[in-house]
Amino acid sequence: MTTPPNPFIPNPTHSRPAHVALILDRSGSMESCRDETIGGFNEYAQQVRATAAQEGLQVRLTLTVFNHEVRVPLFEQPLTRLHPMSRKYYVPSGSTAMLDAVGETIDRLERDGTGIADTSVLVCIISDGHENASQRYSYADVAERIQRLTATERWTFTYMGANQDLSVVSDRLNIPVANTASYAATEAGTADAWKRQRRATSRRMSQIKAGERASTDFYAEETAPNAVNGDRPATQ
């Protein structure tokens, strides 16, 4: 009887599949840091490309943006299909249907993702405010999905947020506390948040290359020196 390969043991002769799903707030409150969000996203995309090439990973990307509506500009696309974001395509407005965005992204990845059962998946949620507009998914709906997929040890869920108590977000969504980080919803704070997001994602991609299971300390090496307005540090 042939023993199936262990997906967590590095195999230097094969590139490892990975998927990065970025779920990005574009509600009206994001207008004050619109340019920093656009610039941060573009630098993040460049870093993901560079790290994927360095680590020899087959990375596909999904981009979900949300206000009171959920849109998916990119679904399971190779990094070569990722073009720079601009003010034309990122226009903040409306309210915050974060739960619908996360729930729809998870369900579509599970339903339509190519080889998703054998892929290491990183889901990153970035939002500067409280959920207030979801119609299809509740906290319980999304938390159940996150808990179930985290238990596979292939899915890592993270949350970068401003103007909210992330200990509450962690509890309600079943995201490990060290996978959450706060930032100040200012120009400088937003730019710093994207820098931390790039560093943490690069570390996670290196871990995937090494065959490590899902991360429960995604932001553990990061700090939040610009956190204000009740934001807590990135780790605690």
Return mean pLDDT, the chain. Answer: 90
Tens digits of residue pLDDT in 126-152: 999 999 999 999 999 999 999 999 999
Give the residue numbers spanning the domain of 203: 16-209
Indicate the number of domains in the chain. 1
Q: How would DSSP label each residue in 151-192?
A: TTTSEEEEEEESSS-HHHHHHHHT--GGGEEE--SSHHHHHH
Residue 211 CB contacts under 8 Å (≥ 6 apart), including other chains: 7, 8, 9, 10, 16
Residue 52 CB contacts under 8 Å (≥ 6 apart), including other chains: 18, 58, 59, 79, 205
> Is 134 a domain residue?
yes
Lowest mean pLDDT among 6-10, 113-117, 181-185: 6-10
pTM (2 d.p.): 0.89
Bridge partners (DSSP) of residue 23 are: 64, 125
> Is 190 a domain residue?
yes
> Is 197 a domain residue?
yes
- Band (pLDDT 50/70/90 cuts) for residue 223 is low
> Is 201 a domain residue?
yes
> Is 4 a domain residue?
no
> Is 203 a domain residue?
yes
- Band (pLDDT 50/70/90 cuts) for residue 215 is very high
pLDDT at residue 209, as a whole number:
95
Residue 161 CB contacts under 8 Å (≥ 6 apart), including other chains: 125, 126, 127, 128, 169, 180, 181, 182, 183
Q: What is the CATH number of the domain that holds 142?
A: 3.40.50.410
The torsion of the CA quartet 214, 40, 22, 154, rounded to 10 degrees, works out to -10
- Write out the two tokens for 142: 């999304």
Tens digits of residue pLDDT in 28-83: 999 999 999 999 999 999 999 999 999 999 999 999 999 999 999 999 999 988 88
pLDDT at residue 81, as a whole number:
86
> Is 219 a domain residue?
no
> Is 10 a domain residue?
no
- Write out the two tokens for 172: 């309600």
